[in-house]
A and B are shown apart, each in its own frame.
Chain A
Amino acid sequence: MAGLLGKFKEGLSKTREGFVDKISNLVAGKREFDEVFFEELEEIFIQGDVGMATTLDIVGSLKRKVKEQKITETKDLYQVLEELIVELLGADSVLNVEGKPAVIMVVGVNGAGKTTTIGKLAYQYKEQGKKVLIAAGDTFRAGAIDQLEIWANRVGTQLIKHQEGSDPAAVAYDAVNAGRSRGADVVIIDTAGRLQNKANLMQELQKVHRIVSKELPGAPLEVLLVLDATTGQNAISQAKVFSEAVGVTGIALTKLDGTAKGGVVLGITHELNIPVKLIGIGEGIEDLRTFDGRTFAKALFTGEEE
C-alpha cells in the first residue's frame, strides 16, 4: 500500500507542484488569512483549471471555515482544504465488472487517450486473471484498428474487429455476443473520438450504446469517459454532453503525469457529480490507477518533507 501511495505521489508530483508549491509559497512567511490571501488562493485554483464557479465555491467554504474555526496556522488550513476536496471528490468508486461479461464502453473526444487507456485497462484485468475481450469500435480514424490490435497482442487478449469504415454498432454487437459465447469476463469497447458538439456523431454513439444495452438486459454497463487532464473548461462541456447522450458512469483522467493541472476534476465532480474512476499517470502499461479521492487529496497536500 505504501508503494502504491508512493507511485501515486510520483505521478502526481507535477500536479502537486502546481497546487501545493504555489499554496505553500502563498502561505510562506506566516501571513494573515485575509482577503488578499484568498484572492491569491483563487488565482492558484484558476490557474489549476479548477474553473471559476468551483473555485469560488471551494475558497468560499474555506473562508467560512477559517473564520468559524479561527484558523491561523498553515497546517490547519491545509487540513481544512484537504477535507473540502475529499468531500468534493468522494472517497473511491471503481468500475463495476460484476456482469458476465461485464461491458465497458469507452468514449471521449479525439486524442484524449481512449485506445491507450483500453490497453492499460485490459492489461489490469488480465493480470487479475480475467478473460478480456476488446472491440475495435473506432472504425473511423486511420490506423485506429491497427493501434488497438497492437495493444491486444501486447496484452494478450482477444480482439473483435471489422474493417475501417464499418458500422461501430455492429462491432459492438459482435463483441458483446462473442464475449458471451466465449465466456469472457470483461468486454471493453473502443469508440472513435468525437467532439461533443457534433450531433450526428453523438447519435452514432447513442446507437452503439443502445445496441449494447439491448444485448445486456439488466446487466451493468459502464460508460467510461476518457478525459485529457490538460483540458481546460471544455472538459465540463465534454462530461455534460457525453453524459446526456450515453449516461457516463465514470471518468478516466489521462496524462496526469505531464501536467501541472488536473484541477478540472474538481470542476467536473462539483458541477456534474460524475465520479473519477481511473487516472493515467504514465506511459507504462501499468500506469493506470484506480482513483481514490482521499489518496488523491492526500497526495496533493502531503509534501515529501513530511
Chain B
Amino acid sequence: MAVFSGLAEKLQGTFKKLKGKGKLTETDVKQAMREVRLALLEADVNYKVVKNFVSKVQERAVGQEVFQSLTPGQQVIKIVNDELTQLMGGTQSSINLSSKPPTVVMMVGLQGAGKTTSAGKLAKVMKKQGRRPLLVAGDIYRPAAIKQLQILGEQIEIPVFAMGDKQNPVNIAKAALEHAKVHGNDLIIIDTAGRLHVDEKLMKELENIKANVQPTEILLVVDAMTGQDAVNVAEMFNEQLGLTGVVLTKLDGDTRGGAALSVKAVTGCPVKYVGLGEKLDALEAFHPDRMASRILGMGDVLSLIEKAQDNFDEEKAKELEKKIRQQQFTLEDFLDQLQQMKSMGPMEDILSMLPGVGNAKELKNLQVDEKELVRTEAIIQSMTDEERKKPEIINGSRKKRIATGSGTRVQDVNRILKQFAQAKKLMRQFAGADQSKLAKKMSKKSKKGGLGLPFFR
C-alpha cells in the first residue's frame, strides 16, 4: 500500500542517521525531531498534534532510557513507534453491538467523504460475520443518493430501506428501526446526507435522528486526504453528536494519511475501519500498531498473512505444502499460485507489506505490471498437461508453439521457465530448512498450512 510511504521514507532517512550512532547527543535528537516534525506536517498531520507528539517523543528520547541504552538510535525509533501507535489509538477496536438488537449504526460526515460506499462496505463486513444488516437510505438531499445505496444493496445482496426523498430523515430512521424489528434485521446502518460541520440546521437534523433511534455507533467518515481541517471537522461532529468511531476512506490513494494520526488524538475516537479501494470488500479493520510499524518501514507481515489466509484456498494450500515438501511443484501449481496472488489484490499492496520492501526505493517508481501476470498465465495455459508437469521436456519447437499459442515470444516463454526453476529452487530451501521467520509466524497463527510462495519477478 502506498499509504504513508512518503512519511515512512522520510522518517527512515532520519532514523538511519540515528541508528549508526553509538552515542546520541541532545543535538542529535533535536535534529531528528525537527525532521520528524516536518515529515508529519507534510503528511497533513494536524499542526497542534505534531507539536504535542514531537515534544512528547523528545522528552522521552533525551531521558535515561535512551542514553543508557547500548543502541540509542534503535531506542529512539522504538519510542517514536510507541508514540505513533498510541496516537492512532493503541489497540484495534471494532463495532460494538447492542445488547438489545437491532444495533443502530449511523454514518455521518462531510460531502464526498464516502459515507454511502462505506455504509455498503460495512454492511458486507457485518454480513460476513453473521449479522443480518439493513441499509437505510437517509440522504434525501443529494440527487440519486438513494438510488446509489439501492444499487449497492443489490450488489451485496443486503436489503435497503428507503422512503424516497420526500420524507424527513428522522422519520425514515424511525420507520427503518421498526422495519428491522419486524423483519429480523439485527443491525441497521443509516446513511445520512453529507453536511458541513458548520451547517447548524443539518447538524440539528443528525441530533434528532440520534435522539430518536439511539444509535450504538456513530461513525464519522473522513476522507484520508483531508488536510489540517480534519481535526476541526471531527471536533465539531464529536461535540454535537458524540462520535464512537471513525472510518477513514480513500486510504488506497497516495495520501500520507495524516488525518489518521490527528483524529484520534483530538477526539479520542478510534479509527475503526479503513477504506482501501472501490470494490465493496475493500474495507478493513484498522490496526494502529501495524500502521505504525508500516510507517516506520518495518512492514506489516501480520496483515499480509491475514490477507493471504482470506484469499487462499485452504485445501489447495495444504496440497501445495505437501507438494513443496515432496518437491513436486509443477507449472500447474505455479499457475494456481499466480491466480491466487491475483485475487489478493494489486501487487504493490502485497509487496509493500513485506518487511524491508515497503521502503525499498526501487518500489517507489515500480508499477507492478499486472499485464505481465496475464501474459504468464497465457503462456502456462498454452502448455500441454505433460509440459506443465515436466517442463524439462520443453524444447525449441515446443517453445515456439507455446509462444504462438499465447501470443508471446520465445524469450517470454524462456523467462517464465527460468522463473519457475528459480521458484522451485527457492522452495527446496524452504522445504528443507523450515526456519524462515515467515513460516514460523504462519504456523503459529494457524495450523492451516502453508502460504505458498509469493510470485516475484
Residues of chain A whose beta carbon lies under 8 Å from any beta carbon of chain B: 14, 43, 46-49, 51-52, 109-113, 140-144, 146-147, 149-151, 154, 164, 195-197, 199-200, 228, 230-235, 237, 255, 257-261, 264
Q: Is the interface of A mostly helix, strand, loop or mixed?
A: loop
For B141, the closest partner residue in chain A by CB is A283
A109-B250, A196-B253 are known contacts. Are A49 and B42 too (CB-CB below 8 A)? no
A258:B228 contact, CB within 8 angstroms: no
CA A294 to CA B19, docked complex, whole Å: 50
Residues of chain B whose beta carbon lies under 8 Å from any beta carbon of chain A: 2, 38, 41-44, 47, 110-114, 142-145, 147-152, 155, 196-199, 223, 225-230, 232-233, 250, 252-256, 258-259, 278, 367, 370
B44:A147 contact, CB within 8 angstroms: no
B44:A141 contact, CB within 8 angstroms: no
A146:B143 contact, CB within 8 angstroms: yes
For B51, the closest partner residue in chain A by CB is A43
A52-B41, A143-B151, A150-B144 are known contacts. Are A43 and B47 too (CB-CB below 8 A)? yes
A-side contacts of B2, CB under 8 Å: 197
- List 23 A-B pairs, Cβ < 8 Å: A43-B47, A46-B47, A47-B228, A48-B228, A49-B227, A52-B38, A111-B223, A140-B278, A142-B149, A142-B152, A143-B145, A143-B149, A146-B144, A147-B148, A151-B143, A195-B250, A228-B112, A232-B259, A233-B227, A234-B44, A234-B254, A260-B229, A264-B227
A113:B43 contact, CB within 8 angstroms: no
Return the contact of B148 from the options A52, A142, A200, A261 (Cβ within 8 A): A142
Q: Which of A49, A113, A232 has the most CB of B within 10 A?
A: A232
A232:B233 contact, CB within 8 angstroms: no
* Interface pairs A-B: 10 shortest CB-CB: A232-B227, A111-B112, A143-B148, A258-B196, A232-B44, A150-B143, A142-B151, A147-B144, A146-B144, A195-B253
Return the contact of B254 from the options A142, A150, A195 (Cβ within 8 A): A195
A-side contacts of B370, CB under 8 Å: 200
A-side contacts of B256, CB under 8 Å: 233-234
The minimal Cβ–Cβ distance linking B171 to chain A, given in whole angstroms, is: 22
The minimal Cβ–Cβ distance linking B109 to chain A, given in whole angstroms, is: 10
B228:A234 contact, CB within 8 angstroms: no
A-side contacts of B233, CB under 8 Å: 230
The minimal Cβ–Cβ distance linking A25 to chain B, given in whole angstroms, is: 15
The minimal Cβ–Cβ distance linking B251 to chain A, given in whole angstroms, is: 10
B-side contacts of A237, CB under 8 Å: 254-255
Q: Which of B2, B233, B253 has the most CB of A within 10 A?
A: B253
B229:A147 contact, CB within 8 angstroms: no
A-side contacts of B232, CB under 8 Å: 260
B38:A258 contact, CB within 8 angstroms: no
B47:A258 contact, CB within 8 angstroms: no
For B112, the closest partner residue in chain A by CB is A111
Q: Which of A144, A258, A264 has the most CB of B within 10 A?
A: A258
CA A52 to CA B6, docked complex, whole Å: 15
The minimal Cβ–Cβ distance linking B203 to chain A, given in whole angstroms, is: 12
B-side contacts of A264, CB under 8 Å: 227
CA A234 to CA B227, docked complex, whole Å: 8
